[in-house]
Amino acid sequence: MKAVQKEFSRFADTYAQYNIIQNRVAQKLVEECKDAPQRILDLGCGSGTIAKKINWPYEKLTGADFSAEMLALHPKSEKIACRLGDFNDEKLFEALVSERYDRIFSASSLQWAEDLDKTLYQISQLNAPVSLAIFTSKTFKTLHETAGISSPLRSADEVSYLLGQYFRLETELVEYELEFESIEEIFAYIKKSGVSGGRNLLGYTQVKTLMKNYPTKSLSFEVLFARN
Ligand SMILES: C[S@@+](CC[C@H](N)C(=O)[O-])C[C@H]1O[C@@H](n2cnc3c(N)ncnc32)[C@H](O)[C@@H]1O
Q: What is the pLDDT of residue 182?
A: 86
The SS3 assignment for 64 reads strand
Residue 212 lies in a domain: no
Q: Distance from the CA of 223 to the center of ligand 1, in angstroms?
A: 15
Query: Positive or negative, the Cα torsion across 93, 96, 102, 103?
Result: negative
The SS3 assignment for 13 reads helix
When divided into structural domains, the chain yields a total of: 1
Residue 186 lies in a domain: no
Residue 188 lies in a domain: no
Residue 205 lies in a domain: no
| Count of other CB atoms within 10 angstroms of residue 199 | 12
- pLDDT at residue 167 is higher than 80: yes
Residue 93 lies in a domain: yes
Residue 84 lies in a domain: yes
The pLDDT tens digits for 13-44 are: 555 567 889 999 999 999 999 999 999 999 99
The pLDDT tens digits for 87-104 are: 999 999 999 999 999 999
Q: What is the pLDDT of residue 1?
A: 45
User: Range of 16's domain?
Assistant: 3-138+151-177+221-227
CATH number, domain of 89, equals 3.40.50.150
* Residues found in the chain: 228
Task: Evaluate: CB of 196 within 6 angstroms of ligand 1.
Answer: no
- pLDDT at residue 2 is higher than 70: no
Q: In ligand 1, which atom is closest to the CA atom of 88?
A: 19
| Nearest protein CA to atom 26 of ligand 1, as residue | 46
Is pTM, for the whole model, over 0.85? yes
Residue 110 lies in a domain: yes
Exposure string over 67-97, b if 16+ CB within 10 A, otherwise e: bebbbeebeeeeebebeebbbbeeebbeebe
Name the pLDDT band for 210 (thresholds 50, 70, 90).
confident
Residue 171 lies in a domain: yes
